[in-house]
Amino acid sequence: MPPSHDPAREHRILDEIIVDCYDEEEELMGRYYYMTDNLEFPITATARMPLRGGTTEEKTEQIVEVDPKSETGSPIRLGVAEEGSERIHHISPADLVRLDTTPENLEIINDWLYWHDFELLH
């Protein structure tokens, strides 16, 4: 958990998102269902996108889903629609730099970032 303690956020995570989870796989599933049930898509996001050679670039795209594979205990990934294409690629919430979205969506993504000790988005 991050060094700055946020009791309200921790209460929400422990009592709403991962309540009754007994292992890491159940926690992942709890987060998946919480996100799919509560996020409103599409979400305009700027994310660090990997390039060849190990570098990254910031790119603004639309988040359109939570990766369905996350339902089976895989790490949470967000589906990003490629502009002008039917293709979707998946990124970690940790790759997000900015969101242009509702306060509720921002809170849901920040809960994930907080729990995994990443910097929160504003």
Q: What is the pLDDT of residues 93-103, one digit of tens each?
A: 999 999 999 99
- What is d(CA 101, CA 78) in angstroms, rounded to the nearest whole number? 15
Which region holds residue 20: left if phi is over 0, alpha if psi is between -120 and 50, else beta?
left
Statement: residue 1 has pLDDT above 70: no
Quick check: 69 pLDDT over 70? yes
Distance CA 18, CA 2 (A): 18
Summarize pLDDT for 9-61 with one digit per residue, the tens: 988 888 888 888 888 888 888 889 999 999 999 999 999 988 889 899 999 99
